[in-house]
Amino acid sequence: MRNYNFRNRTSFPEGFLEKSNVIKQIQNRFYTYGYDQIETPLFEDYDMYSNVQGTVHQDDMVKVIHPSGKVLVLRPDVTIPITRQYVEADMNNHYHRFSYVLDIFRYNETQQAYRTQAGVEFFGDESPEADAEVIALAIDSLKDLKIAPFKLEIGHSGIYKELLAQANLNSHEQQTLHALIQSKNMSETSSFLDHLSIDQDLKQKIELIPMLYGDPSIVIERAQALVTNKKMQQVVDTLFKVFSLLKDYQMKEYISFNLGLINNMNYYSGIIFQGFTEHIGQPILMGGRYDHLSLQFENEIPAVGFAFEVDKLLTVITQGDDPLIKQADFLIKYRTNCRQDAFLLARKIRQANKKVIIQPTEVSSELKAFNIIQVDSGSYQFKNSKQQTTFLSIDQILQHVLKKG
């Protein structure tokens, strides 16, 4: 039985604020592109995920048993339930842009069972313009976070799928070939293909797939040489259009093409892309087109989207010099017989949206604040780094501190 690790995720104030600030920047960028935020249930029916092919592996789901005996799962994915809800709501006559920031729960090799994703889904548009829009949104979001340098690798499942169909490989052979191509192991790929019953021309084309990466113009030109049918030509045309659109977005410097990017081919139906930055060997975002996912809910709706791995982003974002945790605006100390006056003073200052800490005079602590007020019988002693003044009424000190803003 797998040991799911739900520990080590407590966010103390500084870490929480750091993550919150990153999420706010991402949410704001999503909003500026017209994406409206939604939420999916934390618990879902196990059957919904187990019946959807090519997505979440059943063993990776975190399962719970409802008192009724029904098997539920903690949300292992966001795109699947959003797609199901979209189909069931019969909204497929319109374009819809959705965004989300949600925790997903899934076992992986690091034993960390949950993580935060921030992503978008664009339904109803199968055009290259939609593909380019979500890629541009991902790039703008990374620029907002001042993550540099970064690169988005853009691929497409179509050419490789067509070559596979021509090769007529069984499931085991396909899996082996996938792994070799993804690792760009050229010698092993060639050796593996030599043992298969496929013609030499097809073998050479498959061997070229891992080499189709780098400058988009060059990759498109070399991919054109592999085209043998209408479907493959459509792929090349799509790549050319997306590249042209991203150039118009003035984002050419942030992208490269990689037609060996073939992960999750049963899920993605067209454009695939991943985001990478220095000092981390895994993608910080993944996305692509998944027009066929809705078919598993009995309706075909074009869709494209991506998701940031927020926790990975946090490992590469450089924080500014200003501390995230701000010390209190006011520290109010009071003697027991002045407690009511101190509480009233604190409430009035808090109503002005100031951060106020209050404590008895006899409590010894190292709390710091920009301003300190000592409440005594008939007096309020105010001091900060610039002045020290005594006031004789609560109205006087309120007028002073609130006027200072």
Nearest to 85 by CA among 117, 38, 47, 120: 38
Full set of structural domains in the chain with CATH: 13-166+212-220+230-318 (3.30.930.10), 328-402 (3.40.50.800)
As a whole number of angstroms, the distance between CA 384 and CA 330 comes to 10
What number of residues does the chain have? 405
- Edge-to-edge order in the sheet of strand 255-258: 36-37, 96-105, 114-123, 303-309, 285-289, 271-277, 150-156, 255-258, 213-214
pLDDT recorded at residue 140: 97
Exposed (0-12), middle (13-18) or buried (19+): which is 58, by Cβ within 10 Å?
Answer: exposed
How many angstroms separate the most distant Cα atoms in the chain? 98
> Residues near 396 by Cβ (< 8 Å), separated by ≥ 6?
380
Q: Residue 1: helix, strand or coil by DSSP?
A: coil
For residue 174, give the nearest of 211, 206, 212 by alpha carbon.
206
Q: Which pLDDT value is given to residue 1?
A: 44
Cα Rg of the chain (Å, integer): 28
* 360-395 b/e (C-beta count within 10 Å ≥ 16 → b): eeeeeeeeebebbbbbbeeebebeeeeeeeebeeee
Q: How far is CA 48 from the centre of its chain?
A: 23
Gap between the Cα atoms of 252 and 259, Å rounded: 17
Which residues touch 106 (CB under 8 Å, ≥6 apart)?
A: 56, 60, 61, 62, 76, 77, 113, 114
Q: Please classify residue 12 by burial: count the beta carbons closer than 10 Å to its beta carbon, then call 0-12 exposed, 13-18 middle and 19+ buried.
A: exposed
Instruction: Give how far Cα 160 sits from Cα of 31, 205, 260, 265, 291, Å.
Output: 35, 9, 8, 10, 17
pTM equals 0.84
Residue where the block lists tokens 């692509």: 288
Give Cβ neighbours of residue 171 (< 8 Å, ≥ 6 apart): none
What's the pLDDT score for residue 339?
A: 93
Which amino acid, one-letter code, is at 1? M
Give pLDDT tens digits for 182-202.
888 888 888 888 888 888 898
CA atoms within 13 A on the CB side of 372: 16
> With contact defined as beta carbons under 8 Å apart, do 209 and 163 qualify?
yes
pLDDT number for residue 16: 82
Return the DSSP state at 112.
Answer: B
**Pairing of the two strands 303-309 and 285-289:** antiparallel
Q: State how far the Cα of 67 lies from the Cα of 201, in Å rounded to an integer.
A: 59
Residue entry with tokens 């500014």: 320
Residue 248 backbone dihedrals phi, psi, to 5 degrees: -70, -30
Q: What is the pLDDT of residue 254?
A: 96
d(C-alpha 112, C-alpha 286), whole Å: 19
Taking only the tens of pLDDT, the chain with its 405 residues reads 445 455 555 567 777 888 888 999 999 999 999 999 999 999 988 888 777 766 677 778 888 888 888 899 889 889 989 998 888 887 666 779 999 999 999 876 555 678 899 999 999 999 999 999 999 999 999 999 998 789 999 999 888 888 888 888 888 888 888 888 888 888 888 888 888 888 889 888 888 888 899 999 999 999 999 998 999 999 999 999 999 999 999 999 999 999 988 776 567 889 999 999 987 888 999 999 998 888 888 888 999 999 999 999 998 887 655 555 678 899 999 998 999 999 999 999 999 999 999 999 988 777 788 999 999 998 999 999 888 999 999 999 999 988 865
CA distance 151 to 164: 28
